């Protein structure tokens, strides 16, 4: 069971986390949701399509213009409060590695802190415990936030992923974060080359075997683009293929740009697995 905000999710229930970037330089949407109204429209649309979690980010993941904690908070805190006012039941996540920002967004109504940089600020987990919110524990190869890996290598990439993410999850639980509000994330692209991300996907069942709910952030990432030699706007099919494999291997939460398409993939995989009946079953019965 995964409990976030007012929501409870059963073990085999897939959960879609829709991305809302409050940045002018997002790699995918190029700032389309930087202003309030387009961002709020994006939230409405994502919820209507089936997203249970809205993940709000105030800093581009990759290199770019410097954004300090005050500016990150300015981009996210008021927006979190407005989403909370409009959608009391949706799970609000904030993608941040800074404890100062984490505290501010929790005060505004966030339910989940998505730490994509692998515990680089250890106080963030303390904030999650203090505010009784969830935490995503990610493997990022110990690289500095907003930097790209350079000639990074692992003796065994999944062994390192498990060591880091389970360690972060156990530390968070020891600090008082509810165990049913903690997720682990292999961190595709973060501190990894394309072969590392492919191997992490292939061996994802080793993460799900830990018992911690697994979140995957696959949407239109560079490892998909390099694998298929496709630019950002042509990576949907590769993303969905990776999503299907991840679902089969037991991932539960999916951080995505395309909600409706992802939901169809997850429904199909669940039906093949026997966890979901067909929506319609007329064939051969008439």
Is residue 255 flagged as an active site residue? yes
Q: Within a domain: residue 279? A: no
Query: Residue ranges of the alpha helices (H) in the chain?
Result: 36-49, 69-86, 99-108, 123-131, 157-175, 194-202, 204-208, 222-228, 236-248, 259-273
164-185, pLDDT tens digit by residue? Answer: 999 999 999 999 999 999 999 9
- The CATH number of residue 173's host domain is 3.20.20.20
> What percent of the chain lies above the pLDDT cut of 90?
93
The tens digit of pLDDT for each residue in 98-130 reads 999 999 999 999 999 999 999 999 999 999 999
Residue 53 in contact with residue 15, Cβ under 8 Å? yes
Phi, psi of 237 (to 5 degrees): -60, -45
What is the per-residue pLDDT for 134?
A: 98
Is the separation of the CB atoms in 235 and 220 below 8 Å? yes
**Given 255, 270, 276, 282, which residue is catalytic?**
255
Question: How many folded domains does the chain comprise?
Answer: 1
Long-range contacts of 276-282 (CB under 8 A, 24+ apart): none
Q: Which domain holds residue 16?
A: 2-273
**Looking at the domain assignment, is residue 43 inside a domain?**
yes
* Rounded Cα distance, 14 and 263, in Å: 9
β-bridge partners, 18? 54, 256
Here the tokens at position 116 are 């994509």
Rounded to the nearest 10 degrees, what angle do helices 157-175 and 123-131 cross at?
50
Residues near 86 by Cβ (< 8 Å), separated by ≥ 6? 40, 43
Q: Is the pLDDT of residue 30 over 70?
A: no
Nearest-angstrom CA–CA distance, 146 and 117 = 9
Span 2-20, average pLDDT: 96
Is 238 inside a domain boundary? yes
DSSP per position, 194-252? HHHHHHHHHTHHHHHTTSS-BEEE-TT-HHHHHHHT--GGG-HHHHHHHHHHHHHTT--
Euclidean distance between CA atoms 285 and 74, whole angstroms: 58
Calculate mean pLDDT across residues 79-93: 98
What global pTM score does this model have? 0.96
Beta bridge partners of 214: 184
The reply to whether 280 falls in a domain is no
The owner of tokens 């999650």 is 128
Residue 286 included in any domain:
no
Q: Tell me: pLDDT of 28 over 90.
A: no
Catalytic member of 22, 75, 192, 221: 221
Residue 192 domain flag: yes
Residue 13 domain-assigned (yes or no): yes
Measured CA to CA, the distance from residue 276 to residue 286 in angstroms comes to 22
Q: pLDDT category, 25, cuts 50, 70, 90?
A: confident
Q: Which residues pair with 20 in a beta bridge?
A: 56
Q: Indicate whether 144 belongs to any domain.
A: yes
- Whether 221 is catalytic is yes
Q: How far apart (Å, rounded) are the C-alpha atoms in residues 255 and 115?
A: 13
Give the mean pLDDT of 130-151. Answer: 95
């Amino acid at each position: 069971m995964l409990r976030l905000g007012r929501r409870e999710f059963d073990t085999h229930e897939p959960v879609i986390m829709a991305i809302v970037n409050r940045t002018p330089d997002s790699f995918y949407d190029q700032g389309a949701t930087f202003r309030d109204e387009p961002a709020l429209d994006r939230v409405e649309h994502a919820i209507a399509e089936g997203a249970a979690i809205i993940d709000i980010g105030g800093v581009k993941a990759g290199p770019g213009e410097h954004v300090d904690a005050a500016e990150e908070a300015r981009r996210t805190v008021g927006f979190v409060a407005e989403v909370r006012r409009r959608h009391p039941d949706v799970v609000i996540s904030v993608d941040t590695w800074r404890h100062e920002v984490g505290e501010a967004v929790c005060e505004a109504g966030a339910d989940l802190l998505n730490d994509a940089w692998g515990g680089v600020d250890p106080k963030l987990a303390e904030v999650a415990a203090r505010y009784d919110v969830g935490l995503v524990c990610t493997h990022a190869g110990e690289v500095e936030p907003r930097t790209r890996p350079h000639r990074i290598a692992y003796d065994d990439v999944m062994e390192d992923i498990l060591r880091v993410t389970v360690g972060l999850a156990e530390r968070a639980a020891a600090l008082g974060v509810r165990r049913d509000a903690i997720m682990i994330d292999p961190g595709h692209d973060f501190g990894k080359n394309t072969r590392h991300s492919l191997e992490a996907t292939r061996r994802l069942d080793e993460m799900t075997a830990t018992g911690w709910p697994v979140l995957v952030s696959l949407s239109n990432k560079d490892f998909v683009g390099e694998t298929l030699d496709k630019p950002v706007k042509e990576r949907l099919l590769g993303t969905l293929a990776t999503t299907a494999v991840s679902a089969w291997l037991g991932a539960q939460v999916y951080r995505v740009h395309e909600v409706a398409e992802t939901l169809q993939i997850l429904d199909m995989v669940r039906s093949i697995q026997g966890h979901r009946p067909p929506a319609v079953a007329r064939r051969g019965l008439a």
